[in-house]
Structure 1
Amino acid sequence: MNPIEARHWISAEDKDLKTVSFFHLSFPEQRAAFEELIQHTPAIQVYDTIWQQLQELMKTRHPAEKLSPDLLQQKAAAHIGNGPADEYGVWVYYPWSQRLVHILDEAEFVEMRTSRNQHKITAAEIKTLAAKKIGIIGLSVGQSAALTLAIERLCGEIRIADFDTLDLSNLNRIRAGIHNIGLPKTTIVAREIAEIDPFLKVTCFEKGITEDNIEDFLQEGGRLDVLAEECDSMDIKILSRQRARAMGIPVVMETSDRGMMDIERFDQEPQRPLLHGKVPDDLSYTTIRQFSGEQRMQVALNILDYDNISEKLRSSIHEIGKTITTWPQLASAVALGGAMVAHVCREICLEHNIPSGRYYVDPDQLFKL
């Protein structure tokens, strides 16, 4: 075993931005590296709540018993045996925040992380989902979706793609601190997922999706089980669907307007028209890239079905380039979209009946008197 186990998120120019290190202190080499890290990192912050985690593990494994704090402590001590407590589990180091955290090792960590999902998600389903791979292109609604997928632990790998960095104006809908302004959106999402669950694999495509890397995004390291397409680029919307359809990968998209959710089950319908036939099926990536801004806008309006978008979005579109620079999005709509993407991805991965179509979960209509 290597002195330090590390998991790397792909495509980072500086891997320290998104790399966590794991230390098992029962291995002398790893303990030495651990102690050297502490010695040479004066600002390091150490968080050791292993006993609290162990007691919760014991409580979870004995749900029918009312265990006193003393009995929980006894069971936890018996569970780890005679070895030192600092050697139980694993220590995780987050270089971007200089935090060193002591947690249960992977199997027990995942057991506890998913324990409150049961039985809405059964133990068998949790195991099934752990083998799934979900890709997300675009990190506005996509950020909310990625974090929800991670929190609910609906897959074993999340692939994320976005070429953009965080701007101050993005903070109207993207969950991030102001200290993250200027960082790649992929970095921000990968870091937050690592802080929720360092054992989840996150693969980053920091240059976004292009004709050159779409194949890698969809299938390198194993084919995606679901693609969530949440980008603004018309050419990538079409290209990603064409390639996903060829590979039999279902595509989902939430638009953060009227809770509109698109589902395209290319895994079940390999000849299904792209975007429910709202764009020409032979429209190519190269052709769209040659479109004028007005032509691209027309494609977008066809996809959205202009007559069915909200009145406020309809009026906002006419202000682009006049009083606003781009499409408006609200945090509440983005949060709703992320939840819907996660829900649909879960149901597809569990092979539940989720048919193709366009669906609306429109709060304005639901709560209208």
Structure 2
Amino acid sequence: MIDFDTVELSNLNRQQFKLSQVDMPKVVALKQNLQEFNPFIEIKIHQVKVTHDNVKELFADADIITEAFDNPAAKAMLLDAASEFYPDKPIVMGTGMAGIHSSNTIVTKHPRENLYIAGDGESMGAEGLMAPRVMIAAGHEANMITRLILGDTEI
């Protein structure tokens, strides 16, 4: 897991953190939470901001690259860099999940080989990020990742 940020109070409505984890590095808090579910898994964490210059190093050992950024420019940068350095690795991303729009518009698309995008692909969410849509898109991403691990590349 890679993230430079710390848990903020404003994250609690849509991210799986606890009030006691506010101000904790997100990667430390998420590792802690995941290991409460399964203490037998190995989780490597990097508290660093993902940039074009470090994508090659950070994702070298990844079988699947998964994105959960809330910044459109960061999403585009990761897609460009991952496609450049790792054109054969699957990339699972989310986009268009903000706002109070219908949750029924969130789907997983396969726009090109090795790229899977969960969301509605268009909602800008002037109202802000809303937990239900974010969690549904995250569920789509998790489902696609599980399918890829099992060797199913179709949506």
Interval of TM-score (by shorter of Structure 1 and Structure 2): 0.7 to 0.9
Query: 2:82 maps to what in 1?
Result: 244
Query: 1:254 maps to what in 2?
Result: 94
Deviation at 1:179, TM superposition (A): 1.5
Counterpart among 199, 212, 233 of residue 71 in structure 2:
233
Pair 1:197 & 2:35 matched? no
Counterpart contact for 1:249–1:265, Cα < 8 Å: no
Query: 2:101 maps to what in 1?
Result: none
Runs of 4+ in 1 over 3 A off after TM superposition: 260-267
The SS at the match of 1:212 is helix
CA separation of 1:199/1:245 partners in 2, compared to 1, >3 Å: closer, same or farther?
same
Distance 2:109 2:55 in 1: 21
CA separation of 1:200/1:252 partners in 2, compared to 1, >3 Å: closer, same or farther?
same
Distance 2:129 2:145 in 1: 22
Gaps of 5+ in 1: 1-159, 276-302, 318-327, 356-369
CA separation of 1:304/1:337 partners in 2, compared to 1, >3 Å: closer, same or farther?
closer
The SS at the match of 1:253 is strand
Deviation at 1:231, TM superposition (A): 0.8
Distance 1:210 1:201 in 2: 25
Pair 1:216 & 2:57 matched? yes
Query: 1:175 maps to what in 2?
Result: 16
* 1:164 aligned partner, one-letter code: D
User: TM-score, normalised on structure 2?
Assistant: 0.76
Counterpart contact for 1:229–1:237, Cα < 8 Å: yes
Deviation at 1:193, TM superposition (A): 1.2
Counterpart contact for 1:162–1:208, Cα < 8 Å: yes
Query: 1:345 maps to what in 2?
Result: 145
Query: 1:207 maps to what in 2?
Result: 48
Distance 2:54 2:21 in 1: 26
Q: Highest CA radius of gyration, 1 or 2?
A: 1
Deviation at 1:235, TM superposition (A): 3.7
The SS at the match of 2:151 is coil
RMSD of the alignment, in Å?
2.6
Counterpart contact for 1:162–1:205, Cα < 8 Å: yes
Number of equivalenced pairs = 143
Deviation at 1:189, TM superposition (A): 0.3
Counterpart contact for 2:7–2:25, Cα < 8 Å: yes
Counterpart contact for 1:180–1:188, Cα < 8 Å: yes
* 1:250 aligned partner, one-letter code: P
Counterpart contact for 1:161–1:209, Cα < 8 Å: yes
* 1:197 aligned partner, one-letter code: N
Q: Which has the higher helix share?
A: 1
Deviation at 1:330, TM superposition (A): 2.0
Deviation at 1:262, TM superposition (A): 4.3
The SS at the match of 2:43 is strand
Deviation at 1:353, TM superposition (A): 4.2
Counterpart contact for 1:228–1:252, Cα < 8 Å: yes
Distance 1:265 1:198 in 2: 36
Deviation at 1:192, TM superposition (A): 0.9
User: TM-score, normalised on structure 1?
Assistant: 0.35
